[in-house]
Structure 1
Amino acid sequence: MGSLPGHVVPGTIFLILGLWWMYSAWLRYFICRQRRRPYYVTVSFPCHCCGPRVARLPIESFFVLFGTTLGILIELIAGFNRVIDPKTGSVSFNEGANNLQHFAMYFMFFIVGLISLLAHYNFPLPKNFDGVAGCLAFTAEGLLFYFHGHAREEVEVLLHVFLVLSIFATVICAVFEIIQKEKQVHTTLMRAYFTVMQGAWFYAIGFILYSPFHEHYEQSKDPDAHRTTMLIAYYFALNMAITFFTLLMLSIPAYYISKRQYQTIDFAEYGNLSMINNDDDDDEMEKLNGVTTTTTTIH
């Protein structure tokens, strides 16, 4: 991953996933409100944009499996080294430690995609098992990148520290998604928010360290180390602001689509019937709203 493409690939995966989670969480939230049903939490979301047939397919799981498989192949091929001993002429093969770290990250998320696929097809896994797997994958990613910056230049260390902060913030949100008694949309939105931040920050790291538009940062870096530190913190704060603005803006199309299609978009049809039709949840919603709810026919 010590290149611009090596940061663009994971950054793109996290950006697409995070933006999709933002939009889908907003859409589910608005539809649940209109149907007077409590919001419920799932790790992945059905793809309603292309009709009911596509919505029945685990598109998100397929995307995760494809993206992580691509990343695994890139890291293993790029990190493969053939070494010839100049004295003995013996040949040995090894993988670069840098690439093995990234391989481990991709492999953890590959397992998450596999578990999500099994859950979609009703394999008898424990409840929230895909959520637990996601927490473990993000935790492994955070540990890998925490040690990734050790013994490197100050700029690289600081860039990876900010990345690790956003990763562990994602873990905290994912844990709260699992353990919260009354399911709320906030934790899902924040999980999506920090995932997008990770993706955008991967891009930032790639362009700061390996941009094709300027010299390597060692030759072009600012001699004032304090100013450089302040600028990197500014870039991260700007990333936070832009990501939050994006989160807010995605609520607008989700709201209007929910108003137009809330009778035709059917979450229950795609594996969540027990969550939507839970009588206890209906009673709780009545208490929260202070009104008597009527049963809505879900087509």
Structure 2
Amino acid sequence: MGQVSVSWVEAEAIASEYNAQQEAYKLKSEGDAGDRDCGDSGLTGPRSSCGGLQQLNKFWVVQVVARGQEDENVDGKQVTGHFKGHALPATFLIILSLWWSTRNILKYVCKKQKQTFYLGSKALFHRLELLEGTVLVGMALTGMAVHQFIPEGAHLTLFKEGQWNHLLNWHHFTMYFFFGLVGVADILCVTIRSLPSSLPKLMLSNALFVEAFIFHNHTHGWKMVEIFMHQLLGLVFFLTGLVAFMEFLLQNNVLLELLRSSLTMLQGSWFFQIDSVLYSPSWALAWKLMDSDNIMFLTICFCWHYAVSFIIIGANYAFVTWLVKSKLKSFFPSEVGLLKSVEQESEEDM
């Protein structure tokens, strides 16, 4: 017989139908005498129960085929998207998180030391903001180009042959576009002094909320584990956007800035985790995307990712603080003894 391709929903519907008919077959078979061969099913039973036995045989065939479809190795044909579509934003987000945390820690520590030298000068931070905007625009253009012009890309075609063309690629394209607007805002605020300095924070919050909205509608028709992992990612996008909006309202709050950096690093590391689950190498054990135990493990794994991001941000804080103090010692050797008293005054002000 040919292979039957059905979903678990259809298999369960056949099972329910069989269970409903089984009772009727039992009642009828009590009055029937003799057995006969049930034809192609290869089963033997009471005459009136042959239909039920054949239905039972059909159900088990369907069940085996459905189970086989769900347990197939994830080879890219059974899973939406592709490896590059997750690895590229993962790399960008981790770079951004390290950059943001380093810049914000440097700015905070220099201000706390109350010393004037090149590392803490406004000219340096204006140049860093201009560099950040340029890098953001470059990252956005790279991501947009990748999702359009790779072999699996949309090639700037939204509608093709009577249907939508590579909508997931267009989702990613739109997210990169909004992050590019953040870079444009950074550049404009540095070059046009009349613009409010908080505009990039507002644009960043807007880009993250757009990303969360797209990811909320990014998983239609996917498998259980795929949906769960992308839902967690959408949640992190929303929380990061909320923190960025709080930064827009509360200027120069280093705790909010570091929290945003840690959440951004979590986004990048979780993108890599998605890659390891959905596009695992051929020599590795394939993940079962309909197994609820995998969801329970990934819940714990998500928390581990967040803990690691905190550890990395904390280590970065310690490194930048040491770097600034060592530079201060070299620039102001006669004033090293005043550092402790200055730090105590700054802590009392906080």
- Scaled to the shorter chain, the TM-score interval is 0.7 to 0.9
Going by fraction, where is helix more abundant, 1 or 2?
Answer: 2
How many residue pairs match? The answer is 251
> In the alignment, is residue 24 of structure 1 matched against residue 98 of structure 2?
no
Residue matched to 1:117: 187
Residue matched to 1:56: 127
Q: Do 2:148 and 2:155's aligned partners in 1 also have CA atoms closer than 8 Å?
A: no
Q: In the superposition, relative to structure 1, how do residues 184 and 222 fare at CA in structure 2: closer, same or farther (>3 Å)? A: closer
Q: Aligned partner of 1:204: which letter?
A: Q
CA distance in 1, matches of 2:161, 2:261: 47
> In the alignment, is residue 235 of structure 1 matched against residue 301 of structure 2?
yes
**2:279 aligns with one of 186, 194, 210:** 210
Rg larger in structure: 2
Q: Aligned partner of 2:127: which letter?
A: R
Residue matched to 2:288: 221
Residue matched to 1:193: 262
Q: Aligned partner of 1:221: which letter?
A: K
Residue matched to 1:152: 222
Higher RCO (C-alpha 8 Å, min separation 6): 1
**2:141 aligns with one of 64, 69, 74:** 69
Q: Aligned partner of 1:253: which letter?
A: F
Q: Aligned partner of 2:348: which letter?
A: N
- 1:202-236 Cα offsets, whole Å, 9 max, x none, are 1111121112345795xx4177x231111111210
The within-5 A match list for 1:97-108 is 97-108=167-178
RMSD over aligned Cα atoms: 3.4
Q: Aligned partner of 1:18: which letter?
A: S
SS in 2 for 1:156: helix
Q: In the superposition, relative to structure 1, how do residues 55 and 3 fare at CA in structure 2: closer, same or farther (>3 Å)? A: same
Deviation at 1:55, TM superposition (A): 7.2
Residue matched to 1:269: none
Q: Aligned partner of 1:198: which letter?
A: Q
Deviation at 1:105, TM superposition (A): 0.2
Aligned residues with identical type, % of pairs? 25
Q: Do 2:143 and 2:176's aligned partners in 1 also have CA atoms closer than 8 Å?
A: yes
> In the alignment, is residue 254 of structure 1 matched against residue 320 of structure 2?
yes
CA distance in 1, matches of 2:226, 2:328: 47
Deviation at 1:127, TM superposition (A): 3.9
TM-score (norm 2): 0.64
CA distance in 2, matches of 1:91, 1:180: 50
The within-5 A match list for 1:166-185 is 166-180=236-250, 183-185=252-254
Q: In the superposition, relative to structure 1, how do residues 245 and 154 fare at CA in structure 2: closer, same or farther (>3 Å)? A: same
Q: Extract unaligned runs of 5+ from structure 2.
A: 1-79, 332-343
SS in 1 for 2:271: helix
Deviation at 1:260, TM superposition (A): 2.4
Residue matched to 2:340: none
Deviation at 1:100, TM superposition (A): 0.5
CA distance in 2, matches of 1:290, 1:30: 14
TM-score (norm 1): 0.74
CA distance in 2, matches of 1:64, 1:208: 28
CA distance in 2, matches of 1:54, 1:133: 19
CA distance in 2, matches of 1:201, 1:131: 23
Residue matched to 1:289: 348
Q: Aligned partner of 1:289: which letter?
A: E
Q: Extract unaligned runs of 5+ from structure 1.
A: 38-46, 84-89, 266-284, 292-299
Q: Do 2:201 and 2:244's aligned partners in 1 also have CA atoms closer than 8 Å?
A: yes
Deviation at 1:64, TM superposition (A): 0.8
Q: Aligned partner of 1:32: which letter?
A: K
For structure 1, which segment, 126-135 or 4-13, has the greater mean C-alpha deviation from structure 2 after superposition? 126-135
- 1:147-189 Cα offsets, whole Å, 9 max, x none, are 11232111011001110111111112111112127x4210000
